[in-house]
Each structure stands twice: as C-alpha cells, then as structure tokens.
Amino acid sequence: MLLAAADKSLTVPDSLILSLIGFLVVFIALIALIAVIKALTVLSGRRKAAAPADSDQPENSSYAPISADMVPAAGSFGEIDLYNVDDHSAALIMAIVADRLKVPLNTLRFKSIKQIDEV
C-alpha cells in the first residue's frame, strides 16, 4: 500500500493540506512543550521570587547622571587620586571597604587608589 502511494504524484491541493497538517503538528508540539515547562516550574516551586525587603538593591535602579557642578554629599571628603584605576572600579573598591568595615561610605576618607600589578 505504501509503495502504491509513493508512485502517485501529489496534486497542489493535496500538498497544501499536507503542509497545513505539518504546521499544525509543529504548533501543537510547541504548545505542549510550553505547558510542560510551565507545569514543571510550578511543581518545582521555582517561580520568580520577590526580592526580600531588607535587600541592599534599590527598587528603582535608574540613577541620576553625575555632573561636575553637583555638590558633594554631606560628610564627603572631596577629591581622590586614582592611579591606573577607572572610576567604576574605584567606586566598587570604596563600597566593598565600607561594607566590610560596616561603616557608612561618607564617613571614610580615601586619599588615593592605586592598581598594583602582581609580579
């Protein structure tokens, strides 16, 4: 029977119907896959957890741009000399030091930050 069907050539309407059936099978498989993934995430309890209230991350992550005419924060001690360190890395270093010491950042005074190359 299969060999007899293989000798027969497909007409245009038959090929369109066959293509439509193929598309439907693919879409149904994709929908089933989505359903399985959603069911597994619900069953495993790994839904997106809300951030804890005592998180160090601010809720609004958009920061105001820094300009040269801005007044320093209360308690800040002015300028810092940076040697082979970009501003972002220096800010990270200062924040880590303040966090480790458990002191507010504006109470610390950094005179300079210098990158030391390992030998």
Residue 54: both structure tokens together: 């005592």
Whole-number pLDDT of residue 1: 45
Amino acid at 100: R
Whole-number pLDDT of residue 51: 46
Say whether pTM exceeds 0.85: no
Decide if 82 contacts 113 (C-beta within 8 A). yes
Q: Which of 17-21, 27-31, 73-77, 105-109 has the lowest mean pLDDT?
A: 73-77
Rounded CA separation 103/80 (Å):
19
CA distances from 43 to 25, 35, 46, 51 (A): 27, 12, 8, 21
The mean pLDDT of the chain is: 78
Rounded CA separation 17/13 (Å):
6
